[in-house]
A and B are shown apart, each in its own frame.
Chain A
Amino acid sequence: AQRVTQPEKLLSVFKGAPVELKCNYSYSGSPELFWYVQYSRQRLQLLLRHISRESIKGFTADLNKGETSFHLKKPFAQEEDSAMYYCAPPHNYGGSQGNLIFGKGTKLSVKP
């Protein structure tokens, strides 16, 4: 079964510090991978997509097939980055479906 693991439930950093949110996945092949973000009182929205490299707010993520990881990074965190972040590979990559398999999420808190 396809699985995604986000080992950190909460990550707290100071403004201006680098941030890395970890994500490990378990399935073979060349996966599409998404990061979704949910800001307080807002709906889930796409943050970053691996294949198209769509990204907002300065975040990047590199797919490491050897480590089966897709960690999310930003060199200088801002207070407005405080949110819940979900790593989400789609089910049955290469097929026609694409329902997302969400990790449990990491809550990022950026302190002033």
Chain B
Amino acid sequence: GAGVSQSPRYKVAKRGQDVALRCDPISGHVSLFWYQQALGQGPEFLTYFQNEAQLDKSGLPSDRFFAERPEGSVSTLKIQRTQQEDSAVYLCASSFLGQETQYFGPGTRLLVL
């Protein structure tokens, strides 16, 4: 079956620009996670959804970051007024339940100039 998909795969933004990153999880997966992976680092947790409810957003680095999953399936991570330090790969993962194996998307590589 289809895995987790993310779009766009690459995004170049000018500093100050707003960006929106999309994640399509595996159908039927209740849990959805966003991670940020800086160059040379492991992924770091940003936020977690159970269906449409955002249960944890403790990893979001600033109030410029906003995520939603309005219908409990597709999720969007929005970054307002992008800064150079936002440059990273943004990974989306989904799982049937929170403690189960997470399936990762290919990531969106964001470069802020």
Interface size class of A (residues with CB under 8 A): 20 to 34
Q: Are B45 and A54 in contact (CB under 8 A)?
A: no
Name the one of A34, A91, A95, A103 contacting B101, with C-beta atoms under 8 angstroms: A34
Whether B99 is near chain A, meaning CB under 8 Å from some CB there, is yes
Q: Are A101 and B45 in contact (CB under 8 A)?
A: yes
Q: Give 15 A-B pairs besides A49-B101, A90-B98 with Cβ atoms closer than 8 angstroms.
A: A32-B99, A43-B4, A44-B104, A45-B104, A96-B97, A96-B98, A97-B56, A98-B31, A98-B95, A98-B102, A99-B48, A101-B45, A102-B44, A104-B42, A105-B41
Q: Are A98 and B104 in contact (CB under 8 A)?
A: no
**Whole-angstrom distance between the alpha carbons of A98 and B49 in the complex?**
11
Q: Are B100 and A99 in contact (CB under 8 A)?
A: no
Chain B positions within 8 Å of A54 at CB level: 101
Chain B positions within 8 Å of A102 at CB level: 35, 42-44
Q: Are A100 and B55 in contact (CB under 8 A)?
A: no
User: Could you show 24 A-B contacts with beta carbons less than 8 Å apart?
Assistant: A32-B99, A43-B3, A43-B4, A43-B106, A43-B107, A44-B91, A44-B104, A49-B101, A86-B42, A86-B43, A90-B99, A95-B98, A96-B97, A96-B99, A98-B98, A98-B100, A99-B48, A99-B98, A100-B33, A100-B35, A102-B42, A103-B42, A104-B41, A105-B42
Most-contacted residue by chain B among A36, A49, A104 (CB, 10 A): A36
Which residue in chain A gives the minimum CB-CB distance to B101?
A46
* Residues of chain A having any CB pair with chain B under 8 Å: 32, 34, 36, 43-46, 49, 54, 86, 88, 90-91, 93, 95-105
Q: What 4 pairs between A and B have smallest CB-CB spacing? A: A102-B42, A98-B98, A44-B104, A98-B99
**Whole-angstrom distance between the alpha carbons of A96 and B95 in the complex?**
12
